[in-house]
Every structure is written in structure tokens, then in C-alpha cells.
Structure 1
Amino acid sequence: MKNMRPQAVDWKTLTFGVEIEFIGGHPEQLELLPGWIMSLDERQLDETGLESGSELKPPPLLWEDREQIRVMLDRLLAQGAAMNWSCGLHVHVGLEPWGQEIVPRLLDAALQCQEAIGKLLATSPHRRLFCPPVTPAMRERYAAAPEEESVRYFGRPQSHRCGINTAAWFDIQTVEIRYANGSLDYEEILATAELCLRFVAAVGEGRTLSSDHEELARQLGVPSCGYPPPLPPPRWFEERTWLEEALIPVLASTAAELVKDGEIHHILPVPDGMLLAVEDREGRLFKFIVQPPAAKWTVLRQIEG
């Protein structure tokens, strides 16, 4: 692929979108502005561990359209929706001015300053699972084969999208920045979106960005605070995560046998064993109840739906 010629673009002219995760409310009944989508299959966890809320997504917006976000937040809050430790905020930025040629530059920029962006956005430690780093090996793979598979993070499917997710280009022609904690606060969401827009514009312009978060904020012309704050998860969630991480190596081969190219999405204790959720390469989720006998795990049944 030919090298991208740097091109200066006003960040306010870039399209963007925010994926707003929340708990509570009545997402099925929420009145949506034209083009907005409620992803009812994207549930979060409430304080008891039950699935709750949803994920709200806009159509591609320009900065001048940002008032739509306030309108939808007001409607969510009026329904009783809330935000907690299980929620995140993902920002998509359109790459129309540069096309796919900007992807290598975004990968290079990620290697240089992804930790600085994570520090600026104060990513909660327990949310790092959902935004793993771009790696040098990824950059090398992409140079050899400029395709989506090269920028996919291999491991748990919950984490196949990097914190600076260039794989989104191959789906909806954006880059997705996934480091922000959840928020239903209009000013925090706008601050996050502006940081992401300015970052992408700076990469497109060919600027060299700092690995220090305070210097990066200065370079981008954004504040070093005012973003969604981190929230600690409850103890039961930490314990569930520890158990899950311990079981993943034990069950990895079973998951691969049950689903072709499958990777473990999550593991939960249930009354008659363990619920093993396995995701395939197309993002389809398969759930099984398994039991741990002395020698080998026994698959009791597959759960449909």
C-alpha cells in the first residue's frame, strides 16, 4: 500500500459517533431521533450482576450536530437510566478524508501514545480487557497484509478490538477509540469525543505525538481532565473475574472443540456446573453448560438462543 500523504483537516468537519452504554431505564420504549439505534443485545451488568440497560448509538454526526447527544441523554435519564462500573463509552471517528491509507499511521500513533490516551481518559483497570493495546506484531502483519485480520487482537473475543481499533475501518470506515469509562454526562461525553476527533485529525496531518499524557493533551489542545471518571467494580465482580481467568486456560481446548475457531467469551457459575460462552469468528455466541469431573469436563447440553 502506498504511503499516505499528510492532509490537514479541521477536526470539526470529521464525522463521529459515540456508543453510550447504560444500565436501567426502558431501552425498548425509548423514543429515538432519526438514525439513532438502540442495540438491545448489548446489555451491561447492574449492581446485582443481572443484565441491564443497553447501548445507544447515533448515526454519523458532525460537531455541529452534537446537540442530538444532549437530547438523547435527557430522554435516557428521564427513563431512569444510569451509568455504573460496567459501562463504557466508545468513540468512532470517520476516516473519509484519508481512506484506508491512514490505517498504518494510526497504528504507528497507537504504538507511540496509546498508553497516554488511556491515562488521559483514566481507563478503569477492569475495563482494560475491552481495550488491549496495538502491538508491534500487528503493525508488521498489516504491512505485509493490509486487511482486517492483521489488526485483530487474538485472544478472548471480548478483547479482539484494540483500544485504538483500526479494524473498524473494514466495517464502517472509522477508527474506534475504546478507552473512555462510561458516562451519561453531556460535557464528559463531548470532551471525550473532542479528544478523539483532535487525535485523528493530528494523525491525518502527519504530526508526531507524545507518549506523555500531559504533553499529548497540550499538543491536541484538549484539557488533561474532565473525562468520565473511573468507577471501581464491586467485590463480587472482581471475584468472578479471578475465577474466570483461572478457568480460561483449563477450558480453552474444550471451547475449541465445541465451536470451530471458537474463543471463550465468558464463564459463569450456574447451579449445575459452569456456563461456558464461546464466540466464533463471525461474532456468534454459543452457550454450553459444562461440569468439571475429576478427569475431564463433561458437556451437559447446549443452550439455544
Structure 2
Amino acid sequence: MMKPIIIRDWKDLYFGVEIEFVGGKPEDVELLPGWTMALDERQIDDTGEESGSELQSPPIQWKDREKINEMLQRLIATGARVNWNCGLHVHVSMEPWGEEAIPDFIDAALQYQESVKYVFHTSEDRLVYCPPVTVEMRDQFVSDPGDAALRHRGRPQSHRCGINIAAWFDNRTVEIRYANGTLKYDEVITTVEFCLRFVAAVGARRKLSCDPKQMANDLGVSLTGYPPPIPAPLWYRERIWLENMLVPILTPIATSLVPDSEILHILPRPDGLLVAIENPDGKLIKYLFHLSSNGWKVEGKLPDS
């Protein structure tokens, strides 16, 4: 029997925003009730240092959106800003449709994710944080439903896809991660409206155009007004290019140290290379690698891991 079509007004859906930033004084920001500051979610600033944080809202509705503006003003007052390393993530509740709608959302991601990325003008340097949903993920979910099927593995090094349906198993939402970072209220709200209308349309099993301009028209949203891309500095791109070349070389050593693991990142140090290895539980274990005339050597595990 075909599932009934469930239509929800997009303004009635609950959503949450995650606003990444650099600089400022996140510890000093006075938070509205329910808002949190994820101080362990540091971004990379223009000097390469970890900086800023991620401001997270509680579940709110469209009528509550002015609270976002209030929190942005408090954040900006401390000197916070965004750069190429920052993103804006929007979580939209999937609870009106429930877990049985996950296949519909997977199919929608496969069909529309490139169009969503186009509308949001996703920076090339941010694509590492929003890999695509794949046909293999859909097939794996059909054969073995669960969040593991919907989490990305390997490079680019992000387990959460640009349309992150695995978020259902964390907080009953779908997370859309393609938007570039911004602290401008109008850009945040334009992004939120697109995400709410898009999720409501998918939940109602509407057929949308894959042409980005026509998709925007189908949804009744603007094709402009989203956070613009910010190019990364050359030193950062060079670091990523080098890291991507080193990962295949060092992965066999990393997996011998930590079975079923992945290399999260590689950073140069005066005494070698810091190789951060993520175990299957998501814990980071850091080792110091050194290249000698006899090949790669592991100098030891770093104490902060």
C-alpha cells in the first residue's frame, strides 16, 4: 500500500541553525535560553590557528526567527567574523514524516543535491565538509537500514554529507550543510527559508526541477541572497593538496596502529608530521610520524590523544 502524502506548512516545521565563525570571544557571549556554544568546534582562522566556535540554536519555528538576529548581534559585538573555513548548517525536523520517509529523502538528495549546491554557491574549499549522498549509500540503507549506511567514509574527510540524512538518528532532523558561512541575518534567513521549503516539498513527495533556477521557482524562494563563497588562501590550499597526497601513503601505517580507522588530518611540525587518526568510535588519536632514509617511522602517540 502506498504511503499517504503528508503535507506540512514549511513555517510550522521546527529547525535549528549551526553558525560557524572565527575570532571573537565565544566564551563571553550571553546565550538566549536553549542556545549553546560548541567550544570544541573550532574553525581555522587566516593564520592557521584554531579559532572561534559554533553557535547552535535550539529547535525553533519560523515565527521565532528574530532570536537568530539577536544572537548574531551579540556574537558580532565580540568581534566574531567568518572566513572560508566557516559554514552555515540548517537542521530541519523530519518528525512529521518519520523514519519511513528516509528512502524518499535519500532519493531526493541523489536527484537534487547538485542543484542545492548550485543555489547556495557552495565554495570549492568547503566541499570537503559536505560530500555527496551516493547510490551505494541508498543500496546499503535498503539492505541494512541504519545511520552507518548514510555516513560518508574516506576523502573528503567528513562523515556528514551535504544533505545529511544520518542526522535523523541523532536528533530526528535532516541537516543541509551546503551554505557558506555568514553572520548576516538576511543571508541566514534566506538560507533557512530555502531549507524549510525544500524539506516540506520532499516530505510531500513533490517533484521539483533539477534546474536550479526552476527549482527555486518551484519552491517559491529567491535565487539570490545566500552567503557568498569566500576563497581560501593559497597556503591552505597547498596544505590540503599535500595532505591529500600523503593520506594514501600513510593510511596503511595508520590502520595498523588503529584498526578500521581513517586519517582525519595531517599537520607539519618542526619534529615531524602530526597525523590525527579517527577510530571507529570517532575518537581522535594523534601520532608523530617522521620520514627517515629508511622510510616512515612512528615516533609515538601524542599525550593529548
Shorter-chain TM-score bucket reads over 0.9
2:241 paired residue number = 242
In 2, distance between residues paired with 1:36 and 1:50? 26
In 2, distance between residues paired with 1:118 and 1:207? 19
**8 A contact 1:157–1:265 mirrored in 2:** no
Correspondences of 1:1-305 after superposition (within 5 Å): 4-156=3-155, 158-305=157-304
How many matched pairs? 304
Q: TM-score if structure 2 supplies the norm length? A: 0.97
Q: Structure 2 counterpart of 1:91, which letter?
A: V
Report how far residue 3 of structure 1 moved: 6.0
Q: Which moved more, 1:174-183 or 1:248-257?
A: 248-257
**8 A contact 1:180–1:228 mirrored in 2:** yes
**8 A contact 1:256–1:262 mirrored in 2:** yes
Deviation per CA, 1:271-305: give whole Å up to 9, x if none: 01101011122221111111122343211121232
Report how far residue 4 of structure 1 moved: 4.1
In 2, distance between residues paired with 1:41 and 1:158? 18
Secondary structure, in 3 states, of the residue corresponding to 2:178?
Answer: strand
Deviation per CA, 1:223-269: give whole Å up to 9, x if none: 11110000100010011011001101001111112223210110011
**8 A contact 1:109–1:209 mirrored in 2:** no
In 2, distance between residues paired with 1:285 and 1:111? 31
The unaligned stretches of length 5 or more in structure 2 are none
In 2, distance between residues paired with 1:145 and 1:65? 38
Report how far residue 135 of structure 1 moved: 0.7
**8 A contact 1:156–1:263 mirrored in 2:** no
In 1, distance between residues paired with 2:3 and 2:215? 22
Q: Structure 2 counterpart of 1:155, which letter?
A: G
In 2, distance between residues paired with 1:125 and 1:100? 32
Q: Structure 2 counterpart of 1:214, which letter?
A: K
**8 A contact 1:4–1:102 mirrored in 2:** no
CA RMSD in angstroms, aligned pairs only? 1.2
In 2, distance between residues paired with 1:200 and 1:103? 12
The unaligned stretches of length 5 or more in structure 1 are none
Q: Structure 1 counterpart of 2:263, which letter?
A: I
Q: Structure 2 counterpart of 1:68, which letter?
A: K
Report how far residue 157 of structure 1 moved: 7.6
In 2, distance between residues paired with 1:79 and 1:4? 50
Secondary structure, in 3 states, of the residue corresponding to 1:96?
Answer: coil
Q: Structure 2 counterpart of 1:200, which letter?
A: V
In 1, distance between residues paired with 2:294 and 2:9? 62
Report how far residue 66 of structure 1 moved: 0.8
- The 1:265/1:3 distance shift into structure 2, 3 A limit, reads farther
**8 A contact 1:84–1:231 mirrored in 2:** yes
Q: TM-score if structure 1 supplies the norm length? A: 0.97
**8 A contact 1:94–1:174 mirrored in 2:** yes
In 1, distance between residues paired with 2:27 and 2:155? 29
In 1, distance between residues paired with 2:214 and 2:72? 32
Q: Structure 1 counterpart of 2:110, which letter?
A: L
Report how far residue 150 of structure 1 moved: 1.1
In 2, distance between residues paired with 1:5 and 1:129? 37
Deviation per CA, 1:115-142: give whole Å up to 9, x if none: 0000000000111111111111111111
- The 1:149/1:42 distance shift into structure 2, 3 A limit, reads same
**8 A contact 2:131–2:156 mirrored in 1:** no
